[in-house]
Structure 1
């Protein structure tokens, strides 16, 4: 009986040791895999931050050039005192993009568009970019008249803005007032959803101080197309610069969070590994003492 008991004890001790070791190895392997995954994410976000930083400087240069066109258009309307008619039936042009990973930049223009659309139930909506389209369609699907994809895929250009303006004016949309909703670039860490008005032929021709200028009806029609193109180019360029800056900030924050998680996981891994080694030593000493 004494011999049977002395044989059973080591078997139980060995089984217990193997179970603890297997559990510790599984935990360490899970932490190691997660640490490797987070490290790969950190490399990707860091690379995307560097790319976005390069694009921000270029987008700002384009934006500064586009502002010249937009400011000139607005100056004319201010001097002519052009305004929306009392029974305004506007068309809303929302400027976003198809790209993500840039924080809540698309949500800001979507919310601003929804707020204006709530005041004008019959307002037609034209959307540039898929991101805003998905958000606006939840509440105002029936108001969406035109959508454009791949806008400013490479860089904003006046030619692209002019083609969009031509498509809007020739689409048959009935409106006597227009509003462009876009993200205004404030700084590399801030942007603001802004509304930029534009006017159709009728509103321009009824401007109180238009008589100060020499013009023909055909000239006013060309002016309608040209000023809309200017405003769209300005809005697209501003939105693109704000988007690149927001993406840079988002990737910087993501990289920072990943680095913090790597430090925590590394600490947990080292502690778990040290605890596993300590447990193994205790089990070995305990087993040797039992023998």
Structure 2
């Protein structure tokens, strides 16, 4: 290979160096394109996932809205059972013995995606047991009243802090609108459990409005409390049906609270899915903006590569 004359070398170097520099810049710009392309693919995947989630939440909202009307009608009918119980206890002037033993029934369900439905009754149960422990002069509520948990969700939450208090748990509750047969089976299990109690405190979610619910307690007195009531003797009875009346009152109360809790859960699920759909829509809008910006950046980078490569060849 012939060597260039010493005098011609500066001119050749001045012509070649800019071309090499432009080529290196173009190569660096081109090397950044795959990462930008990968970002676009990630954004496309996220957009697809969020759109699928939005479809699911909208479908679940529609299903919950359809079920809510039926649940509200059932709740209006079931509330009559609870009111009838209260009238019996009020007219007979029945009261639980001071310092009597309480049994707690925490009502919820097995399903999730319904906001704070489960934590609402669990917090109320913990608060009531803590109050009983404080009144008894003991800060430890783990040795307090027995708990009957209706639903896997409240059972799981109560098992973390009050595992010794859970006596019996039920599942498969709340799949559909509860029936009186379900309530009767639960009441029979409570009566036949062998646990002594002076009253049953049923903790459930009370339906307040289309936008809210709150935990509430319905108190059901025991057979002995009815016998000791001053006004109960005014009811003429050919046979002693106090035991049957106490069991029937317990089943009535459980039925009323089950149905109302079910309506509150369906309403909470509808609101939760509505909020989830709105959040998914906002996320889709933000991801679309990011995707368009990234796509414009990729296009601009590619144009710069083309222009730079063409200038390097001239």
Aligned counterparts of 1:278 and 1:46: Cα–Cα separation in 2: 38
Aligned pair 1:34/2:46, yes or no? yes
2:104 counterpart (84, 89, 92): 92
Provide closer, same or farther for how the CA distance between residues 190 and 93 of structure 1 changes in structure 2, counting only shifts above 3 A.
Answer: same
Distance 1:270 1:250 in 2: 30
Cα RMSD, aligned residues only: 1.6
Per-residue CA deviation, residues 82-133 of structure 1 (Å, 9 max, x unaligned), is 1110121100000010000000111010011111111334211111001111
The two structures have a TM-score, normalised by structure 2, of 0.89
SS in 2 for 1:218: coil
CA contact (8 A) 2:91 2:231 kept: yes
Query: In structure 1, what is the equivalent of residue 5 of structure 2?
Result: none
Query: Which residue is equivalent to 1:172?
Result: 194
Do 2:106 and 2:125's aligned partners in 1 also have CA atoms closer than 8 Å? yes
Which of the pair has more CA radius of gyration? 2
> Hey, what does 1:147 align to over in structure 2?
169
- TM-score normalised by L of structure 1: 0.95
In structure 1, how many angstroms separate the alpha carbons of the residues matched to 2:119 and 2:189?
Answer: 25
For the residue of structure 1 that corresponds to 2:195, the secondary structure is coil
In the alignment, is residue 77 of structure 1 matched against residue 99 of structure 2? no
Q: Which runs of 5+ in 1 are unaligned?
A: none
Report the CA distance between 1:287 and its aligned residue. Answer: 2.5
Deviation sequence 1:156-190 (CA, Å, 0-9, x none) = 10011001100100110111111000000111211
Residue 259 (structure 1) aligned with residue 281 (structure 2): yes
The residue that corresponds to 1:213 in the other structure is 235
Report the secondary structure of 1:71's partner residue.
helix
2:238, 2:193 → 1: CA distance?
A: 24
Is 1:204 aligned with 2:204?
Answer: no
* Candidates 36, 42, 53, aligned match of 2:65: 53
Q: How many residues align?
A: 291
Runs of 4+ in 1 over 3 A off after TM superposition: 1-11
Q: Secondary structure at the match of 1:93?
A: strand
Contact 1:109 1:182 in 2 (8 A): yes
Task: Write the deviation string for residues 180-206 of structure 1: whole angstroms up to 9, x where unpaired.
Answer: 000001112111100000011100111
Partner deviation per Cα, 1:120-151 (whole Å, 9 max, x = no partner): 34211111001111111222111111111111
Give the equivalent residue in structure 1 for 2:255.
Answer: 233
